[in-house]
Chain A
């Protein structure tokens, strides 16, 4: 068996499902967007044009869910097999709206610039995991009106892995897609093998903003994958009970799915959540406490309850430095969702609430993911792995170190860390010489020395800049 965790019983999933359906029917979601009101109306929802409230009856949700696939294929530009999002597969990705970077050379915070974005994407491209790249930082040295497109350009230019891009409105999204067409050759090619998805962040509680609607409509129209996140904050933008927070996140996601499927029944959808808590002392959101993985496991289970591909935040940290707290938060918020089979865990590299990224934390998170993946594989108990002939060969009192058997199995049975400090205590040596951070920095250099970034023709870059500046 493989170690797996559930936090909700079947009956509890049903109870949350019922509460979300009641919420969508009794309270509803609100939007000022005419296009969305019309689409909801066509889908069979009750739309009050005065209050702009949309109430969604249960049968509309059922119809929507019946149109959803249990598996979304995420392609890349390497021509490899796509990531199959759904079921018990778990993939790790970066994430970041971070505008700050902990500088690799000075170890002090400063604002993210485009060069940082390039470096972080390239490191993400070099390491494995991340299995995919959600835009990992927000550069501050370009006008905010085009920052989303600049990010998209940097993703196109610096990775061939699947990526999740963001856009602030329809116009910018269309330009992003035009840039992707430049690289891929045609829109049809992208539609056949979508090598990027579009990120949508919903607004809690129960508000559908026009920018989110535009992204959903435009992306769904083209049949490209949507990674839709709902991130209510317990005690802030959702009630203080964790269960109600799951009810709300679930309702908001279902409503957005109704909208997407009203546009195009074939739209590939991923049910993702950042449901979390508002810290009542710091008055800020917390991603590193125990509630975060609890909520992630719960939203994941709700996705599975409907047979949907799931995703959401994980491997996160509130700490402002690369310290003991970072290790504790990253492992806790990464391991638990992974054991609940959250299909796309996004968070690699991010820390300091959601405010900072660094090359070191990305390397550390790569190690954390390796550790987690080993736990997920569990203990392989088979005739091969329990064969007693090796005991006879070695005999009582012997050792197994030099046997063929050990040579055959140690690399798969044991996680081989890259940067964890192991080995014995050398009292006469500096204990920090081999500490994880030091080793992370060394490993970064090894990885990047070997790395060959993807190459795009200069003419393509010129073309991408033209599209951005049109």
Chain B
């Protein structure tokens, strides 16, 4: 099979949520000489982007989006050894994500997490209701490229502002780009609190992250 055939088949299998077929095809493609990086970028990431587009277009649904993310993540795990072989594969960046203090809603954040991982980011998920101080310490210690702060309640949105404030006070605000999201969050809020990025859903979170890091 030609590389294009592999790529198209993998994308098709991702859209059909045929997890085993995705993995089998990816392994076969690499064994057949398709560069692993091509498999990741042009097949797995592209397939997931397609799923994201279909989701945005209301043709695919949340459980399917998550399934697609899961199955691509599983395939990535499987082909990791090939990527480690110094063939030019590099993670897009380190993305640290958390639902802010006082807020226990994390379904949306988990989906963002999944899509980011599947599209090539290394993701550190700090969980939900994460105290501001913990977030700041982790940023200081692990130096992520982007910090994503999720808040689902208008009452917990100020915690996003507080994280940025404390990062500034600690003098490490410039070390990290900050993205905010969550149902009540708007672009104007993001601008007001001095965040670097904003996304209204998981698919656009990936695009926004790519934009911020200039890798889109």
Using CB atoms and an 8 Å cutoff, list the residues of chain A in contact with chain B: 399, 401-403, 406-407, 410-411, 416, 424-428
Give the chain A neighbours of B110 by CB distance below 8 A.
Answer: 399, 401
Give the chain A neighbours of B67 by CB distance below 8 A.
Answer: 402, 407
Give the chain B neighbours of A424 by CB distance below 8 A.
Answer: 183-184, 200
The complex places the Cα of A411 from the Cα of B200 at a distance, in Å, of 24
Q: A399-B106, A424-B183, A425-B183 are in contact. List 8 more A-B contacts (CB 8 A).
A: A402-B66, A407-B17, A407-B64, A407-B67, A410-B63, A425-B184, A426-B186, A426-B200
Interface string of B6-20 (1 = CB under 8 A from A): 000000000001000
A402, B63: Cβ atoms closer than 8 Å: yes
The complex places the Cα of A97 from the Cα of B39 at a distance, in Å, of 60
Within 8 Å of chain A (Cβ to Cβ): is B156?
no
Q: Given known contacts A399-B107, A399-B110, is B63 in contact with A427 (CB within 8 Å)?
A: no
Within 8 Å of chain A (Cβ to Cβ): is B187?
yes
B200, A401: Cβ atoms closer than 8 Å: no
B63, A428: Cβ atoms closer than 8 Å: no
Q: Which of B17, B64, B183, B186 contacts A428 (CB 8 A)?
A: B186
A427, B188: Cβ atoms closer than 8 Å: yes
What is the CB-to-nearest-CB distance from A369 to chain B, in angstroms, rounded to a whole number? 19
Using CB atoms and an 8 Å cutoff, list the residues of chain B in contact with chain A: 17, 61-64, 66-67, 69-70, 106-107, 110-111, 114, 183-184, 186-188, 200
Closest A-B pairs by Cβ, 8 of them: A402-B66, A424-B183, A406-B63, A427-B186, A407-B63, A428-B186, A399-B107, A428-B187
Q: Given known contacts A407-B64, A407-B67, A426-B200, is B183 in contact with A401 (CB within 8 Å)?
A: no
Give the chain B neighbours of A410 by CB distance below 8 A.
Answer: 61, 63
Give the chain A neighbours of B186 by CB distance below 8 A.
Answer: 426-428
Q: Given known contacts A407-B67, A424-B183, is B107 in contact with A401 (CB within 8 Å)?
A: yes
What is the CB-to-nearest-CB distance from B77 to chain A, in angstroms, rounded to a whole number? 16
Q: Given known contacts A401-B107, A428-B188, is B61 in contact with A416 (CB within 8 Å)?
A: yes
The complex places the Cα of A411 from the Cα of B17 at a distance, in Å, of 15
Q: Which of A402, A406, A427, A428 contacts B70 (CB 8 A)?
A: A402
Q: Which of A401, A425, A427, A428 contacts B62 (CB 8 A)?
A: A401
Give the chain B neighbours of A428 by CB distance below 8 A.
Answer: 186-188
Residue of A nearest to B70 (CB): A402
What is the CB-to-nearest-CB distance from B63 to chain A, in angstroms, rounded to a whole number? 4
Give the chain B neighbours of A403 by CB distance below 8 A.
Answer: 63
The complex places the Cα of A427 from the Cα of B17 at a distance, in Å, of 34
The complex places the Cα of A407 from the Cα of B70 at a distance, in Å, of 13
Give the chain B neighbours of A425 by CB distance below 8 A.
Answer: 183-184
What is the CB-to-nearest-CB distance from B110 to chain A, in angstroms, rounded to a whole number? 7
The complex places the Cα of A407 from the Cα of B106 at a distance, in Å, of 19
Which among A401, A402, A427, A428 has the highest number of chain B CB atoms within 10 Å?
A: A402
Residue of B nearest to A417 (CB): B58
What is the CB-to-nearest-CB distance from B98 to chain A, in angstroms, rounded to a whole number? 16
The complex places the Cα of A172 from the Cα of B39 at a distance, in Å, of 68
What is the CB-to-nearest-CB distance from A337 to chain B, in angstroms, rounded to a whole number? 30
The complex places the Cα of A416 from the Cα of B106 at a distance, in Å, of 23
What is the CB-to-nearest-CB distance from A284 to chain B, in angstroms, rounded to a whole number? 40
Give the chain B neighbours of A407 by CB distance below 8 A.
Answer: 17, 63-64, 67
Which among A403, A424, A425, A426 has the highest number of chain B CB atoms within 10 Å?
A: A424
What is the CB-to-nearest-CB distance from B123 to chain A, in angstroms, rounded to a whole number? 15
Residue of A nearest to B152 (CB): A424
What is the CB-to-nearest-CB distance from B86 to chain A, in angstroms, rounded to a whole number? 33
5 chain-A/chain-B pairs, Cβ below 8 angstroms = A401-B66, A402-B69, A402-B114, A407-B67, A426-B186
Give the chain B neighbours of A401 by CB distance below 8 A.
Answer: 62-63, 66, 107, 110-111
The complex places the Cα of A153 from the Cα of B165 at a distance, in Å, of 73
Residue of B nearest to A404 (CB): B67
The complex places the Cα of A426 from the Cα of B204 at a distance, in Å, of 14
Which among B17, B67, B70, B188 has the highest number of chain A CB atoms within 10 Å?
A: B67
The complex places the Cα of A424 from the Cα of B181 at a distance, in Å, of 12
What is the CB-to-nearest-CB distance from A202 to chain B, in angstroms, rounded to a whole number? 45
Residue of B nearest to A403 (CB): B63
Give the chain B neighbours of A406 by CB distance below 8 A.
Answer: 63
Residue of B nearest to A410 (CB): B63
Give the chain B neighbours of A427 by CB distance below 8 A.
Answer: 186, 188
Give the chain A neighbours of B69 by CB distance below 8 A.
Answer: 402
Give the chain A neighbours of B184 by CB distance below 8 A.
Answer: 424-425
The complex places the Cα of A424 from the Cα of B184 at a distance, in Å, of 7
The complex places the Cα of A401 from the Cα of B183 at a distance, in Å, of 17
The complex places the Cα of A401 from the Cα of B106 at a distance, in Å, of 11
Give the chain A neighbours of B61 by CB distance below 8 A.
Answer: 410-411, 416
Residue of A nearest to B104 (CB): A397
Give the chain A neighbours of B114 by CB distance below 8 A.
Answer: 402
What is the CB-to-nearest-CB distance from B56 to chain A, in angstroms, rounded to a whole number? 11
The complex places the Cα of A264 from the Cα of B24 at a distance, in Å, of 68
The complex places the Cα of A402 from the Cα of B70 at a distance, in Å, of 8
Give the chain A neighbours of B111 by CB distance below 8 A.
Answer: 401
What is the CB-to-nearest-CB distance from B69 to chain A, in angstroms, rounded to a whole number? 8
What is the CB-to-nearest-CB distance from B75 to chain A, in angstroms, rounded to a whole number? 16
Residue of B nearest to A426 (CB): B200
The complex places the Cα of A21 from the Cα of B106 at a distance, in Å, of 66
The complex places the Cα of A357 from the Cα of B61 at a distance, in Å, of 33
The complex places the Cα of A428 from the Cα of B187 at a distance, in Å, of 7
What is the CB-to-nearest-CB distance from B126 to chain A, in angstroms, rounded to a whole number? 15
